[in-house]
Amino acid sequence: MIQLYECQGKHFKVYNSKVEEVLEHPDEDTGVIVNFGYNENDLIINVTGFLKKPMRKIGQKNRGDIYIFQKDFKPFLPILDKLLKDQKTVSDPEEKWRFGNPVERDGRQSVPNCFKLAEVSEVILTAPFDEQSLRIEGFLIVDSEIPGRDQSLWAKQGGGRQIHIGVWGSVSIIEKKSEAVDISIPLKKLENNFLKTIQEYWID
């Protein structure tokens, strides 16, 4: 992977319901390290600095979530724009969104005030659990969020707008190849289904 940009992820989770474990940020004051890079075919979001813990609420859906303060995420956008121009990437057309924003459910916190920015298909997340890795193949969404009424700690920390990157889809178990969590997004998906819509719907 050729590195493009590094920042901190304030909040991070990857749930593995089969082993009832979660990979997450160490504590509320210590985030994870998020590296954006690329290879021949994909943009790679590489996450390190997390801990593995027992799942506090059994039955969580297999998924990955990264929250990055918007001020830390924003500098990545012109870097990505330059990469796509330099690579002369042949981009897929913009696709119609299949999924809406999250809704509030009984037994959970209220969702943050959320504005959807992007939805991308053909995304793969791999996450290490003991001797094997969880593989999630499906969709990535990007939201711009500020605290909902139940996010009291987030509000106490300043309530700054955060960019949420979420991944979910079909699940399989594969051979463990890395101690990091990697999210692979095809370069061909980025211009019209990631960068364009993020810029179009961006909220300062």
How many other CB atoms are there within 10 angstroms of residue 93's CB atom?
7
pTM of the predicted model, to two decimals?
0.90
Band (82; pLDDT cuts 50, 70, 90): very high
In angstroms, the CA 165 to CA 7 distance is 14
In angstroms, the CA 99 to CA 37 distance is 27
In angstroms, the CA 201 to CA 18 distance is 36
Q: What is the pLDDT of residue 4?
A: 98
Residue with tokens 């364009």: 196
> Mean of the per-residue pLDDT values for the chain?
89
Q: Which residues are bridge partners to 12 per DSSP? A: 66
Query: Is 110:150 a contact under the CB 8 Å cutoff?
Result: yes
In angstroms, the CA 12 to CA 50 distance is 8
pLDDT digits (tens, 9 = 90+) for 5-38: 999 998 999 999 999 999 999 987 889 999 999 9
Q: What is the pLDDT of residue 151?
A: 52
pLDDT digits (tens, 9 = 90+) for 174-193: 999 899 999 999 999 999 99
